[in-house]
């Protein structure tokens, strides 16, 4: 159900007068209240738990040699809420080669690339890239030529870039693809440690200047920045999961990010607000009962399972 359908369902369940809405935009009076109640109901439901499974997603970002921490804005996380702290891992950026042409081709060395149209592709070099590419700039896979070659564009869905000139040195790449990209074959998990321990270990003495593959990671408690340790050399990409902040329903066609079988919980939550507004205790009781049953099912489906510890000796 989209926003418009949820609002109309809420009005119908509450027995509100008037015909069904054709849009949620620019409503007044009771219709405007129902739109607001439904929108706020979805925010409230998402806010019940920061670790709802439907708010969980992944991001990937390349490490910069010598950089000790990475603010959220540098991690490619969008609508960030909080980190899922035991999910971090990293991989070695695979080497690539370029075929000069119109368009130019990108090939991951020695293995299928695993990329799909729309994935990002960011290139690095200790020499020079072909004319048409800038190191550290995200591009997009424009077409998958075959299992070994792709073309790239400057914008998502844009025209493929032509490569001219020559390249030199070692070329590597990273991607937003966290499922099938070739680089993931070298992936290892990173142990999560406390921020104070990370600071005392890796921002102290000679370890400040030790740049290698990071094996641990901490989260700055103040700004949620990620702190790999040891401080990384270039050539690695971190992958991790995070939970998004509540996502509002704004437009008529916006759909809440839960399975269809649970979407009516928004209607019952909006009914609560209507019942309180109308001081209808009977309707309030019905709304709370139905909402509670759906929330119970959602919690079983979308929240982490509780694990029992081993018996004490």
101-115 pLDDT, tens digit per residue, is 999 999 998 889 999
Calculate what percentage of the chain has a pLDDT beyond 90. Answer: 89
In tens, the pLDDT along 41-73 reads 999 999 999 999 999 999 999 999 999 999 999
pTM of the model: 0.86
User: What domains can you pick out in the chain, each with its CATH number?
Assistant: 3-47+257-301 (no CATH), 53-92+186-244 (no CATH), 96-169 (2.40.30)
Confidence class for position 195, pLDDT limits 50, 70, 90: very high
pLDDT tens digits, one per residue of 124-138:
998 999 999 999 999
Q: What is the pLDDT averaged over residues 288-307?
A: 92
Can you tell me the distance from the alpha carbon of 138 to that of 122, in angstroms, rounded to the nearest whole number? 5
pLDDT band at 234 (very low <50, low <70, confident <90, very high): confident
The pLDDT tens digits of the residues spanning 153-190 come to 999 999 999 999 998 999 999 998 988 999 999 999 99
For the cut 90, the answer to whether the pLDDT of residue 210 exceeds it is: no
Model pLDDT, residue 120 = 94
**Residue 172, pLDDT score:** 93
């Amino acid at each position: 159900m989209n926003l418009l359908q949820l609002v109309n369902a809420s009005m119908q369940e509450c027995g509100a007068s008037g015909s069904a809405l054709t849009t949620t935009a620019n409503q007044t009076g009771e219709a405007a209240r129902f739109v607001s109640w439904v929108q706020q109901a979805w925010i409230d439901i998402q806010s019940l738990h920061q670790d709802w499974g439907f708010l969980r997603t992944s991001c990937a970002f390349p490490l910069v040699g010598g950089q000790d921490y990475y603010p959220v804005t540098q991690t490619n996380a969008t609508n960030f809420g909080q980190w899922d702290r035991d999910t971090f891992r990293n991989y070695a950026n695979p080497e690539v080669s370029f075929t000069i042409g119109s368009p130019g081709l990108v090939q991951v060395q020695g293995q299928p690339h695993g990329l799909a149209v729309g994935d990002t592709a960011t290139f690095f070099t200790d020499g020079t890239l072909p004319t048409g590419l800038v190191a550290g700039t995200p591009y997009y896979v424009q077409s998958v030529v075959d299992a070994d070659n792709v073309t790239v564009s400057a914008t998502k869905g844009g025209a493929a870039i032509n490569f001219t000139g020559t390249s030199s040195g070692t070329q590597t790449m990273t991607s937003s693809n966290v499922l099938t990209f070739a680089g993931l074959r070298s992936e290892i998990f990173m142990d999560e440690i406390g921020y104070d321990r990370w600071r005392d270990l890796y921002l102290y003495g000679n370890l400040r200047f030790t740049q290698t593959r990071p094996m641990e990671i901490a989260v700055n408690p103040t700004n949620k920045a990620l702190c790999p340790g040891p401080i990384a050399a270039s050539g690695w990409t971190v992958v991790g999961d995070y939970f998004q902040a509540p996502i509002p329903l704004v437009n008529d066609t916006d759909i809440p990010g839960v399975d269809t079988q649970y979407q009516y919980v928004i209607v019952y939550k909006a009914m609560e607000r209507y019942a309180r507004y109308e001081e209808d205790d009977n309707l309030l009781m019905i709304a709370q009962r139905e909402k509670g049953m759906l929330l119970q099912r959602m919690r079983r489906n979308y929240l982490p399972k509780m694990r029992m510890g081993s018996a004490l000796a």
